[in-house]
């Protein structure tokens, strides 16, 4: 697939912790996909014995996910892809795709996007929000508490003007559980 220039779509932790250099970031919307806590995290935000939850994208008719598109300098393409593959494909639960991203300034680009493999054992679509909150409130993995992931993502998306009702509900509920 032609990735010149390389664009990367971030919809969760990549929005606040991309971990790679980029030349431009623009709010963008990915049509046909929905962001949800539908992947069990056994490395970064949980363990195999006590999995956490992380956000993932899955296809859904009529859905759209808003996040950030990052344009990477041509000389940094290979290093960026190597970094992202090590980070995002750690357990093979995500699939790397090049998908059309509609930028808020009217441009349409193709962006490397990590979407959930719905056939993977870590896929857990359909967990009730309360169950998600209970898991997130207690899980801890190699990159820290699951609560940190939720709080940082919700705060950063809100600061960008990106509304996500489920994230807002989960943030409020998990903060309440955190204070118990």
Return the structure tokens found at 116. Answer: 């959930």
Active-site residue among 88, 104, 108, 163? 88
- The DSSP letter of residue 130 is H
Cis peptide before 129, with omega less than 30 degrees from 0? no
| Residue 88 among the catalytic residues | yes
Closest alpha carbon to 41 in 147, 126, 163, 151: 147
CB-based contacts of 63, cutoff 8 Å, min separation 6: 31, 32, 33, 34
- From the number of C-beta atoms within 10 Å of its C-beta (0-12, 13-18, 19+), residue 6 rates as buried
75 vs 22: CA distance, rounded Å: 11
In contact, 43 and 90? CB cutoff 8 Å: yes
Active site residues: 88
């Amino acid at each position: 697939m032609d990735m010149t220039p390389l664009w990367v779509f971030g919809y969760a932790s990549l929005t606040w912790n991309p971990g790679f250099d980029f030349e431009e970031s623009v709010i963008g919307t990915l049509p046909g996909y929905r962001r949800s806590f539908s992947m069990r995290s056994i490395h970064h935000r949980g363990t195999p014995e006590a999995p956490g939850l992380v956000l993932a994208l899955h296809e859904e008719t009529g859905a759209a996910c808003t996040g950030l598109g990052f344009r990477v300098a041509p000389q940094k393409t290979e290093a960026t892809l190597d970094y992202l593959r090590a980070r995002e494909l750690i357990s093979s639960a995500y699939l790397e795709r090049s998908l059309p991203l509609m930028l808020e300034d009217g441009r349409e680009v193709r962006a490397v996007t990590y979407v959930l493999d719905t056939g993977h054992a870590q896929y857990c679509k359909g967990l009730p929000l309360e169950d998600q909150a209970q898991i997130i409130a207690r899980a801890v993995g190699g990159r820290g508490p699951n609560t940190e992931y939720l709080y940082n993502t919700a705060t950063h998306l809100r600061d960008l003007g990106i509304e996500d009702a489920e994230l807002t509900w989960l943030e409020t509920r998990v903060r309440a559980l955190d204070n118990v």
